[in-house]
A and B are shown apart, each in its own frame.
Chain A
Amino acid sequence: AQSVTQLGSHVSVSEGALVLLRCNYSSSVPPYLFWYVQYPNQGLQLLLKYTSAATLVKGINGFEAEFKKSETSFHLTKPSAHMSDAAEYFCAVRGSGNTPLVFGKGTRLSVIA
């Protein structure tokens, strides 16, 4: 079985500051890991995914995440926050094949001007 734990339900950063959203996973098989972003009353948009290729994954909107097996982590970072980054971010994991995504509880990112 797979699961993810997102540390911090709410993160607040100043505009231009580093964004760090934490995600730790648990998986009995090599995991596929994802970060999604959700804006209010909208569906989820894929930011990036890890599928056992490069451990540093670059996504859209300047976000990236690094897969660290030794730490079972897949933290999301962005060097400089923009106001438009304010949203809910979900980390998700799944196994191989046709298995569905399992989501963390989400982290709400606020960006302060």
Chain B
Amino acid sequence: GAVVSQHPSWVICKSGTSVKIECRSLDFQATTMFWYRQFPKQSLMLMATSNEGSKATYEQGVEKDKFLINHASLTLSTLTVTSAHPEDSSFYICSARDRRVDTQYFGPGTRLTVL
């Protein structure tokens, strides 16, 4: 199946710093990418939908100024957690939609720990 990569796979940062997570579709073009957040032993919660060349659509309750999403190309979307705090610690998973087969493929996730 199609491959979606994320980088980094894990990151530890100090409170107040910003962290950027990259999501790439490796063998298909993704006009739409999605960012999810997963707390331990819980399901995935959609944070935002990212469309190439336009502003992201954020779910209710997600701070768009804190979680900056950029989808500058058909194969790359980035999520920047600005001024991170310990409560932002979580597992962040991106997903890219392959329109050819109408399927969402998921990246391996990024474990963020804010100290």
A residues contacting B by CB (< 8 A) are 32, 34, 36, 41-46, 49, 51, 90, 98, 100-106
The answer to whether A44 touches B46, judged by C-beta atoms less than 8 angstroms apart, is no
Smallest CB separation, A21 vs chain B (Å): 14
**Which residues in B have their C-beta under 8 angstroms from that of A34?**
104
Query: With A49-B103, A51-B102, A100-B34 known to touch, is A90 a contact of B44 (CB < 8 Å)?
Result: yes
Among the listed stretches B65-73, B79-87, B107-115, which one makes contact with chain A, having 4 or more residues with CB under 8 Å of it? Answer: B107-115
Enumerate chain B interface residues (CB-CB to A < 8 A). 1, 4, 6, 32, 34, 42-44, 46, 49, 91, 93, 95, 97, 102-109, 111
- Is there contact, CB below 8 Å, between A43 and B109? yes
CB distance from A49 to the nearest CB of B (A): 7
Q: Could you say which residues of chain A place their CB within 8 Å of the CB of B42?
A: 105-106
> Are A100 and B1 neighbours in the complex by a CB distance under 8 Å?
no
Residues of A within 8 A of B103 (CB): 46, 49
Q: Is the CB of A105 within 8 A of B104?
A: no
- Set B6, B49, B93, B97: member contacting A44, Cβ < 8 A: B93
Q: Is the CB of B43 within 8 A of A90?
A: yes
Q: Are B109 and A41 in contact (CB under 8 A)?
A: yes
Nearest-CB distance from A44 to chain B (Å)? 4
Contact with A43, one of B32, B34, B102, B107 (Cβ below 8 angstroms): B107
Q: Give the residues in chain B near A105, CB-CB below 8 Å.
A: 42-43
- Bound together, the chains give a CA A51 to CA B104 distance in angstroms of 13
Given contacts A43-B109, A44-B93, whether A100 and B102 have CB atoms under 8 Å apart is: no
Cα separation A41 to B93 with both chains bound (whole Å): 11
Counting chain B CB atoms within 10 Å of each CB, which of A43, A44, A101 scores highest? A43
Known A90-B44, A100-B46, A101-B95: A44·B111 in contact at CB below 8 Å: no
Q: A98-B32, A103-B43 are in contact. Are A43 and B106 (CB under 8 A)?
A: yes
On chain B, the residues within 8 Å of A43 by CB distance are 4, 6, 93, 106-109
Name the CB-closest residue of B to A4.
Answer: B43
Residue in chain B with minimal CB distance to A44: B106
Q: Which chain B residue has the least Cβ–Cβ distance from A99?
A: B49
| 10 A–B contacts, CB within 8 A, in A order | A34-B104, A36-B106, A42-B109, A43-B106, A44-B95, A44-B106, A46-B104, A51-B102, A101-B34, A103-B44
